[in-house]
Amino acid sequence: MALKYSISFATLLALLPLATAQSGAWGQCGGDGWTGPTTCIAGYTCTYSNPWYSQCLPGTASATVSTTTSAPTSTATSSAGLAVVAKAAGKLYFGSATDNPELSDAPYVAILSDTKEFNQITPGNSMKWDATEPSRGTFRFANGDAIVDLAKNNGQLLRGHTCVWHSQLPSWVTNGGFNNATLQSIIQTHCSTVVDHYKGQIWDVVNEPFNEDGTWRTSVFYNTIGPEYVAVALRAARAADPNAKLYVNDYNIDGTGAKSTAMVNLVKSLQAQGAPIDGVGIQGHLIVGQVPTTIQANIEQFAALGVEVAITELDIRMTLPVTDALLQQQKRDYQTVIAACNAVPKCVGVTIWDYTDKYSWVPSVFNGQGAALPWDANFNKKPAYDGIVAGFA
Ligand SMILES: *[C@@H]1O[C@H](CO)[C@@H](O)[C@H](O)[C@H]1NC(C)=O
């Protein structure tokens, strides 16, 4: 997600004093609705991320700069079209995340709109809670609508993202002091209104419910309602749009392990309660050279529950600078992930978390890392593109 923090980062944010003259390391320093400090402590620079968020990053220049100044040392040779090869392999789609500020970049939009490459898009930020219901009962749909209109004009599927998430959540929800019943009704109103507005879509209804060890993440939702909040959100989404495909989505559930087991148990529990659950979203924020070896086995264990599976936010980042060896390893890593999805019929599609390094969220969150996507910042296809094509073969 253009913005998406590791747990330690979220914790760090929570520990920062609420009102200081300058934002601290990694703190927010701007964005729509932000009323806090707009400058950073010494050694950090307030760096624009998107209309909703600017952040204090170390140093005086964004890490993105080093991405854009690295010339590609090798490029892709295939021009098969990623959606073309995904569909030929029996998948529903190959897609990309995008975000509203990027839509004024014509060369960017031209590739995003090429349905030979992408027949699905996901809004990176504009359907999140802070964007859609910034104050209670006041809904804003214009930015999400712009992404939907683009998808419609292009003939692309759209993945709604996301209804209930602990992050990019307005403080009226987090700090409202609501009791169990009231917070349940707030979720119901939010999810039914947003899913109703964006009818006929795939939805990441609940995002990132678990900690790394498979325990529940202690969000305001979990703390106030308990694990039942997931079913509350899913039922509201199903009532609003009986045809939408409803997913629970998380990161670091790529390979088998405690967090993936927690997701298996959640799906089983939802099914036992008769709560609607159609799919598991595996985000797929991975690291070059460290792709798990159990991805296929993991997808198979989700599929065995009778739900579909999608890889929803794939990117495979590297420590900069880009080298030929890293690009070749990245190509193999993309191929490994795609081949795992390809091998399991219930893995229905793959979405990359934007397609070009120009707009990747990685450099702004993982200091010194980047170049995670199949197109470089100058829109040249990298060897990773060939890896994806090979994975669908
Ligand atoms: C909240 O209410 C639901 C019933 O609507 C109940 O199942 C759940 O245990 C309650 N949660 C807490 C933390 O009391």
- pLDDT tens digits, one per residue of 283-322: 999 999 999 999 999 999 999 999 999 999 999 999 999 9
Residue 143: which H helix or E strand, with range?
helix 142-154
* Ligand 1 nearest atom to the CA of residue 225, by list position: 11
Residue % of the chain over a pLDDT of 70: 89
- Whether 351 and 312 have beta carbons less than 8 Å apart is answered as yes
Q: How far is CA 7 from CA 89, 223, 250, in A?
A: 36, 16, 12
User: Per-residue pLDDT averaged across 262-282, rounded?
Assistant: 98
Q: In what order do the strands lie in the sheet with 28-30?
A: 28-30, 53-58, 44-50
- CA 222 – ligand 1 centroid, Å: 10
pLDDT tens digit string along 47-68? 766 666 778 777 754 444 444 4
Q: Which residue has the tokens 């893995």?
A: 347
Contacts of 246 by beta carbon, 8 Å cutoff, 6+ apart: 203, 205, 234, 237, 238, 276, 277, 278, 279
Pocket test for ligand 1, best of 178, 188, 224, 225 (most atoms within 8 A of CB): 225
Which residue's alpha carbon is nearest to atom 7 within ligand 1? 228
How far is it, in rounded angstroms, from Cα 314 to Cα 89? 18
Q: What is the pLDDT of residue 91?
A: 98
Report the 10 Å Cβ neighbour count for 59.
11
> Residue 19 and residue 362: Cα distance in Å, rounded?
27
Whole-number pLDDT of residue 1: 45
Comparing 33-42, 60-69, 366-375, the range with the smallest average pLDDT is: 60-69
Q: Tell me if 361 sits within 8 A of 1, measured CB to CB.
A: yes
* 175 CA → ligand 1 middle, Å: 19
**The predicted structure's pLDDT at residue 61:** 46
Which atom in ligand 1 lies closest to the alpha carbon of residue 232? 5
Q: Distance, CA 224 to ligand 1 centroid (Å)?
A: 8
Which residue, judged by its Cα, is nearest atom 14 of ligand 1? Answer: 225
- Give the atom of ligand 1 at the shortest distance from the alpha carbon of 180: 1
- Per-residue model confidence (pLDDT) at position 71: 53
To the nearest whole number, what is the mean pLDDT of the chain?
Answer: 91
User: Atom 5, ligand 1: which residue's CA is nearest?
Assistant: 181
Q: What is the pLDDT of residues 209-246, one digit of tens each?
A: 999 999 999 999 999 999 999 999 999 999 999 999 99
State in Å: Cα 180 to ligand 1 middle. Answer: 6
Closest C-alpha to 100, from 135, 49, 168, 152: 49
- Collect all residues with Cβ–Cβ distance below 8 Å to 226 and sequence separation of at least 6: none
Q: Give 274: exposed, middle or buried? Use CB within 10 Å, 0-12, 13-18, 19+.
A: exposed
Q: Which residues contact 42 (CB under 8 A, 6 or more apart)?
A: none
DSSP structure string for 294-360 = THHHHHHHHHTTT-EEEEEEEEEEEESSP-HHHHHHHHHHHHHHHHHHHT-TTEEEEEES-SBGGG-
**Which of 312, 95, 60, 81 shows the shortest CA–CA distance to 206?**
312
- Enter the pTM of the model: 0.84
pLDDT over 80 at 7, yes or no: no
DSSP state of 32: T
User: Residue 178 Cα, ligand 1 centroid: separation in angstroms?
Assistant: 13
Amino acid making up residue 78: S
Q: How far apart are CA 230 and CA 220, in angstroms?
A: 12
Ligand 1 interacting residues, C-beta cut-off 6 A: 180, 225-226, 228
| Catalytic residue list contains 117 | no
Among protein residues, the one with the nearest Cα to ligand 1's atom 12 is 225
Q: How far is the CA of 229 from the centre of ligand 1 (A)?
A: 9
Whole-number Å distance between alpha carbons of 11 and 7: 6
Instruction: From 178, 179, 180, give the residue whose CB has the most ligand 1 atoms within 8 Å, as the site to mutate.
Output: 180
